[in-house]
Amino acid sequence: MSFDVPIVLLVFNRPGNTRTVLDSIRSIRPRRLFVVADGPREGVTRDRSMTEEVRRAIVDGVDWPCELDLTFRDTNLGCARSVAEGLNHVFDRVEAAIVLEDDTVVAPDFYPFCAELLDRYRNDLRVGCIAASNFECRKQPRKDSYYFSLYPHCWGWATWRRAWSWYDHSMTGWPEMRESRGLCNILDGRGSVKYWTGIYDAVHADRIASWAYRWTYSLWRQSALTILPSVNMVRNIGLVGDGTHRFSTGQWWTGLDARGMPFPLRHPDAVVRDKSADGFVELRVMRGGAMHEKILRRFRNALWRSGNPST
């Protein structure tokens, strides 16, 4: 048997991680697989051999009948541009796809979960994304299989061509949105507005090279929600080491395991954002992650000063 929804795999210079994620993809044998590989960075000696090993792992590892579309870049575009241009290429060719990076291992159930919901909401403009992450930490399980959120977490996700068409890499509308205080109509509380204003100011000025923040902004501009599963369905295997985007392993949400999803799915009665769940994630993961790093920096600085009393 094979899987009908196209899969996109975004890779760079981590052959071990790439093989692990490819093993997950092999288990469902997709009929169509897109691979987008950024090129080696200039002046980084090890990138050449590592990117070549990643590409060999892909070519050797796709051992099932599959329409394989390879974008292997000769030069490095950087994470943000490589992903954005790669997904433009994908959605020029297909109506919907599941997107995985080389550090996201999803539960096997995530594939049929996406397939069903991509079909169910394919024409519903209120929904822009389906993601694998759940950071709620609920004591009582939800009665429904998923809920609706502001946050399109990027550790395993799916979307449609109609939604990706909203993607605005240059964030051309951000200055106007900022001036009109548009985030006040989206977010709850001044703290959230201040935090995300700072993020989007930095992304718009190219001080943060992130396609994921641009994707979040693009969905918010359209008032589009993301479907999040009632259980966490992804494990991130790239949060330590030398990845482009990595976090302290001291953050509780970086160690979550991927869990299965009971079928048949139980659908919510209405497409309505769960503000309570979003509030928890905003404080404990979004702003909480930033606060965690700030506390660690202060602690390290205090230790350094204690060893250098003259400063």
Which residue in 25, 88, 18 sits closest to 51, CA to CA?
18
Domain count, the chain: 1
| Number of Cα atoms under 13 Å in the Cβ half of residue 153 | 26
Helix runs in 92-160, H state only: 110-120
User: Would 227 be classed as within a structural domain?
Assistant: yes
Angle at 184 between CA 179 and CA 188, to 5 degrees: 155
pLDDT digits (tens, 9 = 90+) for 231-290: 999 999 987 544 444 444 445 556 689 999 999 999 999 999 999 999 989 988 887 654
User: Would 1 be classed as within a structural domain?
Assistant: no
Which residue in 150, 116, 118, 146 sits closest to 132, CA to CA?
146
- Ranking 2-11, 45-54, 292-301 by mean pLDDT, the lowest is 292-301
User: Would 75 be classed as within a structural domain?
Assistant: yes
Beta strands in the chain (DSSP E): 7-11, 32-37, 67-72, 96-101, 104-106, 127-131, 146-149, 157-160, 225-229, 234-236
User: Would 80 be classed as within a structural domain?
Assistant: yes
- Which domain, by its residues, includes 204? 7-307
pLDDT digits (tens, 9 = 90+) for 97-113: 999 999 999 999 999 99
As a whole number of angstroms, the distance between CA 114 and CA 227 comes to: 10
Q: What is the mean pLDDT of the chain?
A: 89
User: Would 101 be classed as within a structural domain?
Assistant: yes
The answer to whether 249 and 258 are in contact (CB under 8 A) is no
In this structure, what token pair is assigned to residue 52?
Answer: 């070549």
Other beta carbons less than 10 A from residue 107's beta carbon = 21
Tell me the pTM: 0.89
pLDDT digits (tens, 9 = 90+) for 77-95: 999 999 999 999 999 999 9
In this structure, what token pair is assigned to residue 284?
Answer: 């404990």
User: Would 2 be classed as within a structural domain?
Assistant: no
As a whole number of angstroms, the distance between CA 3 and CA 276 comes to: 35
Check which CATH number belongs to the domain holding 108 and give it: 3.90.550.10
